[in-house]
Amino acid sequence: MKSVLIHRGNTYKTKSNRRVRKVTPSKKVVNVRVGKKGAMHRCHDCNQKITSIIQMRTAKFSRQKVSKRRVSRPLGATHCSKCVAKKITVDFFNNETRAVNK
């Protein structure tokens, strides 16, 4: 492929300055800047990846719809389904033991 100049800003090959060659509809080869990937959201208890939450950088993530930023369950944005189920059962049994003791 034809060599293409980087016309603006930073010309160094760094993680934040990755470029991809694209061919425009007019058959011109240009460099297009590719942004960094965001990290997957993880559960606060077991550190498992929460795959149903969209993976983006922080600023772009904050502009997304609420439905893309969390899962529709209690603690959906911070905990995985297994940990939420475990928390609910533990809290239920703790309330039952308190009620029995009174």
Query: Residues 40-93: pLDDT tens digits?
Result: 999 999 999 998 899 999 999 999 999 889 888 888 889 999 999 999 999 999
State residue 50 phi and psi, 5-degree precision.
Answer: -95, 100
State residue 21 phi and psi, 5-degree precision.
Answer: -80, 130
Instruction: Quote the Cα angle for 51-56-61, to 5°.
Output: 105
Q: What is the pLDDT of residue 11?
A: 84
User: What is the Cα–Cα distance from 82 to 26, expressed in whole angstroms?
Assistant: 52
Are the C-beta atoms of residues 82 and 46 closer than 8 Å to each other? Answer: yes
Both structure tokens of 41: 């959201």
Statement: the pTM of the whole predicted model exceeds 0.85: no
User: What is the Cα–Cα distance from 83 to 16, expressed in whole angstroms?
Assistant: 35
- Looking at residue 16, what DSSP letter applies? G
